[in-house]
Chains A and B, each alone.
Chain A
Amino acid sequence: MRLALTNRRDLLKAGLWAGAIPLAGGTAFAHREPAQKQILVFSETVCPETEVFGRDVHAHRLGADPSTEMFDLDAALKKGVVKAVFGLTRNSSQFLIEQVALAHGYYPTFKGVHAYDNGSLRHEITGARSDVLRLTDQIQNAPALWPQIIARNVPVLRAAHGAKEIARFQTPLRRPQQSPGYLVSWMLEKAHD
C-alpha cells in the first residue's frame, strides 16, 4: 500500500488527514464513505517529543488512561473507514492500540524504537527499505528534529508486509527533561489492503 498524497497540506485539502476529523465520540466517521479511507494518528500528552509530533500531524492525544480513545478507535475500525493507524507514543499506548487493531485485521507494518541513553538517542527503524533509508538519512542530518521528520513521513510510509529493512543508528541528543526516554513510532495496516 502506498498513500498517494505526499504532504500534509495535500491531505488537509483532500480532507483525508485524520487529525482534521475528531476521533472522540466517533460520530465523524459515520458520515464518511468507505472509499475515503483515513490515516488515524496518535500521540501522547505526557512527553515533549510526542507533543511536537502530534502538533505537526494533528494527532489524537492520549492521556494517562487511553481507554476512551481505544473505544473510539475500535468503533472507527469497525466502520471500515481507516486505511492505517500511526503513532509516536510510549510503548504501553502502542501495545494497547495494536491489540485493538489486531482484532480488526490490522497488523504492524512499520516500527521505530527511539531510546535515549547517556547523551545519545538510539534509533531502530524497521519497515519498507525505501522508508527506512529515507528516515535514516533525514534523522542523521537533523537529529533534534526526529519527531517532526517522522510526522512529515507519515503520509508517504509504505506498508512492509513481507521482508523488512532494519536500520540501527545513534545520534548525539540529550533526553528532554520530561521525556520518558523510550518511545516507539509505529504503523498498523490491514493485512490484505
Chain B
Amino acid sequence: MTDNLPPGVSLSDFESAIGELRELLPLDSIVIDNPAEVRSYRDPWRVTPEEVLPSAAVLPRNVEEIQDVLGVARKYRIPLWTISTGKNYAYGGPAPRKAGYIVLDLKRMNRILEVNEKYGYAVVEPGVSYFDLYNYLQRTGSKLWIDPAAPGWGGVMGNALERGAGYTPYGDHFVFQCGMQVVLADGSVVETGMGALPQSNTSALHKYGCGPSVDGLFTASNAGIVTKMGIWLMPEPPGFKAFKISFPNETDLVPIMEVLRPLKLNLVIPNGTPVVGPIYELGHVATRAQYQDGKGPISEDALRKLVSDYDVGMWNVYSAFYGPPPIIENNWKVVEEAFRSIPGGKIYLEGDRPHDEAFKYRIELMRGIPNMAEYGVVNWAGGAGHLDFVPVSPINGEEALRQFYAMKERLGEYKLDYCGEFMAAWRFMAHVNLILFDVFDLDEKARVNECYNHLIDDAVELGYSEYRTHPDYMDKIANTYSWNDHSLLKTHEKIKDAIDPRGILAPGKSGVWPKHLRAG
C-alpha cells in the first residue's frame, strides 16, 4: 500500500486505518493509490534534500467526516496534518511536518456561510480563498471589501490562523477574525467567544465572550481543527487615496521608519505600510540575469542600474487613506509634510505612474482586490524557489538599517540576494525577506538552508525572532522563545498533552510535539 508509513505506525495498523476510512468516507475522499496525486502534497520549494511526502490525504466535506477521520486516527495513533487551501508555499505549502503523516485537506469545505452587509463580516469554511470571497461579494453586489494576502489564491481562514497580513486597514487578519468553530482531537465541537451562547447573534461581532479567550490557541497551532470562522470585512469607504514615495539612498531607511512610527502609532496611516527594497519592488518585472551574468548576489552597480532603469527608489513606501474625502485630504497633508522632511523623496499618487506594475498591484491590494502579480518575484533568481524569513522588531530606523545591512551581508556570504521589505503594522515592523533560489540547483538550495539557520542565529543575537516559519525550522524557531527555561514551549506542551492525549493533530507544528514524540 505504501512504504511511507506514519512515524510509529505499523503497516498492518496503517492498512486497517485506511480500510476503515474507506468504509466511512466516499471513495474519492482518500488519496493514496495514485503516486502523482500523493506527490501533489509535496513542498516543491523545500531546500533540504529529502522529500517529505504524506502517506495519504483525506478530503472531508463536513464536520461529521472530520470526526470520522479523527476516530480512526485516535484508534491507530496516526498523525494528521491539516491544511485549508495549502497554497502557503513560502512556508511549506501542503506538505506535512514529517513524512508519512496523513494530510487532512479541508479544501472541499469551501462554503461562504454568511455575509452580513449590515454589520460587516463573513463566516467562511477553510477552503474559501480570497478570490472566492471577492468574487462572491462582487457577484452579489456587496459593498464590503476583503483584505487579501498578496497572492489571492490563499485561504481566508488559513491565512488568519497563520497570522498572515494584508494591505487594507483590516490587514492584521487574526485581529479581524471573530468567532471560530473548532473540532477537537476527541471529536467534540466547540464554538469560541460569543458563539458559545445558544442562538447568539454576536459570535462574529464580539471576539471574547465571557471568561478566557481561547481563539489564539487555535492559531499557528495543533490544538484543534478550525472548521468555521468569522472575519470582519471593511465597508467600502467613501474615499480612497493611495500613494507611493521613493527614496534614493539605502540609509534613507532610518528617517523613513522614524517618520512612519508616530504616523502608525497615531493611526494617521491606517493600513500596514510596506517599505520595499529594489529587488522586492522589481523582481516581478525584471530578473538578475538581465543585469549580470552568473549567480548572485547582484553587484551594487547592477542594482543601481536596475533602480535607475525603472525609476524607483532604494526604498519605496506604499500606503493609502480610506474614508470621507475631507478627512483623507487633511491626513494626506500631515503625511506628505512628514515625508517631505526627508531629502530626495519622490511622491506619486494613483495615476502618476501608469506603467508601474508594482504600484498597480499594490493599489489593488490596498483596495481589497486580490491578484497574483507579486508571484512574479520568484523569477528574479531563475528557478522560482522562495523561502521567507520574517523577524519582528520595533518600528525603529536604526534598528531597520542594522537589520538590513546584517541580512544583506549574510545572504551575500551565501551568494544570495537581499529581497526584502519592512512592513510597519501597529507598533512593530515585520522584516519580510524573500530568499529566492533556483529549485533545480542543489548546491544553491543547500546554501539557502545553511544561510537560513545562520539568519535565525543572527536574529536571536540581536534580540528578535520570526513570528512564523517553514516546517523545517519550526523546532529551531520555537527554541528561540527560550525565556525562563522554555516556559512558553512547556506551556504549549502541557496544553497539547491535555487536549490531544493521543498526539494525532499536526505533531511538531510550531515546534510543539505530543508527549510520545518529544525528544528526551
Asked if B40 and A65 sit within 8 Å, CB to CB, the answer is: no
Query: Which residues of the other chain, A, contact B131 by a CB distance below 8 angstroms?
Result: 67, 71
Partner of B289, one of A96, A107, A175, A191: A175
- A180 interface residue (CB < 8 Å to B): yes
Which of A64, A90, A96, A115 has the most CB atoms of chain B within a 10 A radius of its CB? Answer: A64
Asked if B378 and A182 sit within 8 Å, CB to CB, the answer is: no
Query: Which residues of the other chain, A, contact B377 by a CB distance below 8 angstroms?
Result: 92
Contacts A66-B372, A175-B289 given; does A91 touch B37 at CB 8 Å: no
Asked if A64 and B382 sit within 8 Å, CB to CB, the answer is: no
Query: Which residues of the other chain, A, contact B288 by a CB distance below 8 angstroms?
Result: 181
CB distance from B246 to the nearest CB of A (A): 19
- B285 interface residue (CB < 8 Å to A): yes
Asked if B294 and A90 sit within 8 Å, CB to CB, the answer is: no
Closest to B294 in A: A117
Query: Which residues of the other chain, B, contact A105 by a CB distance below 8 angstroms?
Result: 37
Query: Which residues of the other chain, B, contact A42 by a CB distance below 8 angstroms?
Result: none
Asked if A95 and B384 sit within 8 Å, CB to CB, the answer is: yes
Asked if A64 and B376 sit within 8 Å, CB to CB, the answer is: yes
Partner of A113, one of B152, B378, B440: B440
Count of interface residues, chain B, beta-carbon cutoff 8 Å: 35
- A53 interface residue (CB < 8 Å to B): no
- A124 interface residue (CB < 8 Å to B): yes
User: In the bound complex, how far is the Cα of B382 from the Cα of A124, in angstroms?
Assistant: 14
Count of interface residues, chain A, beta-carbon cutoff 8 Å: 33
Asked if B293 and A118 sit within 8 Å, CB to CB, the answer is: yes
Asked if B378 and A95 sit within 8 Å, CB to CB, the answer is: yes
User: In the bound complex, how far is the Cα of B290 from the Cα of A116, in angstroms?
Assistant: 10
Asked if A117 and B384 sit within 8 Å, CB to CB, the answer is: no
Query: Which residues of the other chain, A, contact B34 by a CB distance below 8 angstroms?
Result: 191-192
CB distance from A84 to the nearest CB of B (A): 15
Contacts A67-B370, A118-B294 given; does A92 touch B376 at CB 8 Å: yes
Asked if A182 and B383 sit within 8 Å, CB to CB, the answer is: yes
Asked if B289 and A116 sit within 8 Å, CB to CB, the answer is: yes
Asked if A96 and B372 sit within 8 Å, CB to CB, the answer is: yes
Query: Which residues of the other chain, B, contact A7 by a CB distance below 8 angstroms?
Result: none
User: In the bound complex, how far is the Cα of B373 from the Cα of A162, in angstroms?
Assistant: 34
Asked if A64 and B378 sit within 8 Å, CB to CB, the answer is: no
Query: Which residues of the other chain, B, contact A107 by a CB distance below 8 angstroms?
Result: 36, 40
Partner of B287, one of A71, A118, A181: A181
Asked if B289 and A182 sit within 8 Å, CB to CB, the answer is: yes
Partner of A91, one of B36, B357, B382: B382
- A46 interface residue (CB < 8 Å to B): yes
Which of A67, A90, A91, A118 has the most CB atoms of chain B within a 10 A radius of its CB? Answer: A91
CB distance from B42 to the nearest CB of A (A): 10
In the complex, per-residue mask of B265-302: 1 if CB is within 8 Å of any chain A CB, else 0: 00000000000000000001111111001100000000
- B408 interface residue (CB < 8 Å to A): no
User: In the bound complex, how far is the Cα of B290 from the Cα of A73, in angstroms?
Assistant: 30
Some 20 contacts from A to B, beta carbons below 8 A apart, are A65-B361, A90-B379, A91-B383, A91-B384, A92-B378, A92-B379, A92-B384, A95-B375, A96-B153, A99-B87, A115-B382, A117-B293, A118-B294, A177-B290, A179-B289, A180-B289, A180-B290, A181-B287, A181-B288, A181-B290
